[in-house]
Structure 1
Amino acid sequence: RDIIAMRSKEFLKPEPYAWSWALCQFLDAHPRYRERFRKLGGHLQGSAFPREFAAAFNDNSRDLHTEWTLFVVNLQYGYEATRAAIDFQPGKPLTTDRSSHRIDLATDRGWQSSGVLLEAGQTYEIAATGRFTLADLPKPWTSEPQGISFRYFDRRPLGRLIGCLRAEAGDAGGENEPMLKVFEIGRGRSLEAPLTGTLYLRANDAWNSLSDNRGRVSVEIGRSRSEK
């Protein structure tokens, strides 16, 4: 919001100028936002831009705040904004008729919805299998969900399966964004959900190194036996 509300004279300073271009790059590279963003080109001058921007993105305001926060926190040289784009798909809770759920996770993408809504205070069992390639040079780096420990990203082994939760209601974005609270899964773990939210997953890798990944991870999420 602060960037959108900036006046022309503020862009004479290096920091506002840099942040405005960061927002432009984020929106222009995002498959869900780029067309709407490009149509705003005729409103860059004058006071109409904040109003036109709000009208264009109001339907995705909550998603936009979440993704912008993640973009700002994870931004690095060569950041692959298109592959990092999130397809927000709210999960559904597990029930007696649907006590577990299995998904295939792409390793060349960022956060992906598991399709499961975890409920606060409930315990879940998560198990992952699969082999995938994280890079080709100097030779193919093959990993499993536990990751490979000869290289780390964000203080975790490269390729390790990680997760986070996204609340489906309430405020989104900013320093309290739930998706910033990442936890390790690896080949599997028990997890007591700290909040009610959709489980999102990804294979740990630098945000500028997703395009050379190949393969998928099979992940099964189920209620703990004590919870059934």
Structure 2
Amino acid sequence: MTARWTSRLLCLLLVALVTMNTSELAARAAAPKSKRGKQGTTASTGPRNYRSKNFLIHTDMPPEEAEELLGRLERMLKLVTAYFGRPNRKIIECYVFKEPRKWAPGSVDPEGLASVLAGGGVTKTSGLTSGARFNMKSIVYAGADRGTPQHESIHAYCAQTFGRTGPTWYSEGMAEVGKYFRDGDDSVQIHPGVLKYLQTTPHKTLDDLVNSNEITGDSWQNYAWRWALCHMLGYNPNYSSRFKPLGMALLQKKRNVSFNRVYGPMAPEITFEYDFFLDHLVQGYRVDLCAWDWKTKFKQPLRARASVAKIEAGRGWQASRALVDAGSEYQFAASGTWKIARPPETADEKPQDQAEEEKADETPQSTTATKRRSTSRRTRSPRSKSPQREMDEVDGDGLEDGRGKLVGVIFNDYELSEPFELGVFGTFTAPMDGQLFLRCRDDWGVLAHNTGVLSVRLKPGDSPVPLKDPREDARAVRPAGK
């Protein structure tokens, strides 16, 4: 680039900066402070201006709603900037419409208004770029619902901070993830309509998500699939360490960086966990607690010595370390107790995983576990960030409704058997070859509240030294009169 062109580009950048800062200062000056320290126009009709540290909002929302929105946007942006590690250095300007048809003609960008009238929103970005340097200004146009302003504001932050928002699957997926960010809560908490759609619709494939020529603003249904992929990759410890660097590289448009290059060798594992996530999706689901164990080594249980696995009540399927053969019988004995949280009466989820229970009922021949009344004791949940819940302390037989029971499943070549019931003590017949995984049966959305660990011992059914019932040992050491 010649010195003349360099000088001209610098002048243009200076003019753009002065223009943007002047318009921002003018808007700030025209917005006297409200009682809460935010700024709002004193005009009696039309949209008002509200300002916080990082946002300037033009809206026809009532003052209390506008200030509540500012608070939500600031809290969200704090989490977003912490995730990306880049502070917000420029005011994010938003037009937020409660009754868009009542705005005066010509008072707002027609393309932005049209997007809102169509039921969505849009972020328009303009500016100058020169190689890795850029100076971008984004303006958000969004309806006043509880999700769109957050979604579009994340686009604005990325565009103004990185100069771009990345490929569609990442841009829209992360905007959806970001709008649901909550401090200290990694669980699924999404719009009920989105949840129902994902629960009842055949899965969109991984290849369709990351390798198709989809465009932004296509449909909320496509946004839902992008959210699912980004949420799973972002919170699953098997993939999260690569996901953030991938996102930063995509935002900075680094060469030779793509989803396939970063995750290509892991595609079978990602596909399995993506489908598993969608198959069990409920409000409260924790991807990190249900991540699949790909690292544990499995081997055949020895006849002379039992294999031992520690199974936590607060996690999904966990490796038993035992390889099993289809049609072979195995002994099991589960020592200890765990505590399971009672579902809240207002929860939308079913009190237990009925689908899994139905699958267990379909294969009664695979299990011959000894059935006994479980030991149950009520306590309270120790978790401080969520409402205190009543807890039931049970052994591996669980409660009468099936919650808290030790259950198993066989994994082989990215396929799962039907889950089957175990309990405290007994035998089971393996329904297929593969790796045995175990868990505490409970609704997938409440696992985070559960505590406790069972020690599960496994042996082949023909072992010369059979396993003992752990409850017999407990009774033998119990003091007299207890």
Same fold by TM-score greater than 0.5: yes
The structure carrying a bigger helix percent of its residues is 2
User: Conserved in 2, the CA contact under 8 Å of 1:121 and 1:195?
Assistant: yes
In structure 1, distance between residues paired with 2:224 and 2:301: 44
> Is 1:15 equivalent to 2:260 in the alignment?
no
| Farther off after superposition, 106-115 or 184-193 | 184-193
* Contact 1:127/1:221 (<8 A) preserved: yes
- In the alignment, is the contact (CA less than 8 A) between 1:99 and 1:223 conserved in 2? no
Count matched residues: 211
Structure 2 equivalent of residue 162 of structure 1: 407
**Which string of whole-angstrom CA distances, capped at 9 and with x for unpartnered residues, describes residues 125-168 of structure 1?**
1222321111225533112111113xx5xxxx11111111111x
Asked if the contact 1:90/1:117 (under 8 Å) is kept, the reply is no
Percentage of identical aligned residues:
29
Q: Where does residue 30 of structure 1 map in the other structure?
A: 236
Q: Return the offset for 1:40.
A: 2.2
Report the Cα distance in structure 1 between the residues aligned to 2:446 and 2:409, rounded to whole angstroms: 20
Aligned pair partner of 1:91 in 298, 306, 330: 298
Indicate the residue corresponding to 1:178 in structure 2.
416
In the other structure, the counterpart of 2:439 is: 202
8 Å contact kept, 1:90–1:198: no
Counterpart for residue 308 of structure 2? 102
Match runs of 1:58-69 below 5 Å: 58-69=264-275
Structure 1: gaps (5+ residues): none
Instruction: Establish whether residue 146 from structure 1 lines up as the match of residue 397 from structure 2.
Output: yes
Within the candidate set 201, 225, 228, 2:462 is matched to: 225
Change (3 A) 1:11 1:27: farther
Distance 1:81 1:67 in 2: 9
- Once the two structures are superposed, residues 21-43 of structure 1 have per-residue CA deviations (whole angstroms, 9 ceiling, x without a partner) of 11100110011201211222233
Structure with bigger RCO (C-alpha 8 Å, 6+ apart): 1
Q: Output the amino acid matched with 1:21.
A: W
CA separation of 1:82 and 1:107: change in aligned 2, threshold 3 A: same
Contact 2:407 2:440 (8 Å CA) reproduced: yes
Question: Is the 1:148–1:158 contact (alpha carbons within 8 Å) kept by the matching residues of 2?
Answer: yes
Matches within 5 A, 1:38-77: 38-41=244-247, 42-43=249-250, 52-77=258-283
Mapped to 2, the partners of 1:27 and 1:91 lie a distance apart of 26
Larger deviation, residues 12-21 vs 98-107: 98-107
Pick which of 82-91 and 72-81 moved more.
82-91
Aligned-pair CA distance for 1:9 = 2.5
**CA RMSD, 1 decimal:** 2.6
Take 1:193 and 1:72, find their aligned partners in 2: how far apart are those partners? 26
Shift of 1:204: 0.9
Q: Is the 8 A contact 2:337 2:393 kept in 1?
A: yes
Q: Distance in 2 between matches of 1:77 and 1:144?
A: 27
Q: Which amino acid aligns with 2:416?
A: P
Aligned to 1:79: 285
The answer as to whether partners of 1:100 and 1:222 remain within 8 angstroms in 2 is yes
Q: Is the 8 A contact 1:94 1:100 kept in 2?
A: yes
Determine the C-alpha separation between the residues in 1 that align with 2:431 and 2:229.
31
- Identify the residue that residue 374 of structure 2 maps to in structure 1: none
CA contact (8 A) 1:122 1:227 kept: no
Larger radius of gyration: 2
1:192 matched to which residue of 2? 429
Distance 1:195 1:227 in 2: 24
Q: Secondary structure at the match of 2:396?
A: coil
Aligned to 1:85, what secondary structure does the other structure show?
coil
CA distance 1:145–1:7, shift in 2 (3 Å)? same
1:64 Cα shift?
1.9
CA contact (8 A) 1:120 1:194 kept: yes
Q: Which amino acid aligns with 1:163?
A: G
Q: For structure 2, which runs of at least 5 residues remain unmatched after alignment?
A: 1-206, 342-380, 382-387, 466-482
1:215–1:11 CA distance, 2 compared to 1 (3 A): same
Q: What is the rounded CA distance, in whole Å, between the counterparts of 2:236 and 2:260 in structure 1?
A: 17
Matched letter for residue 53 of structure 1 = F
Show CA shifts across 1:44-82 (max 9, x none). Answer: 799x99x82222223333322222221110011121111
Q: Match of 2:403, as an amino acid?
A: L
Aligned partners of 1:129 and 1:218 also within 8 Å:
yes
Aligned equivalents of 1:193, 1:115: Cα separation in 2: 15
SS for the counterpart of 1:8 is coil
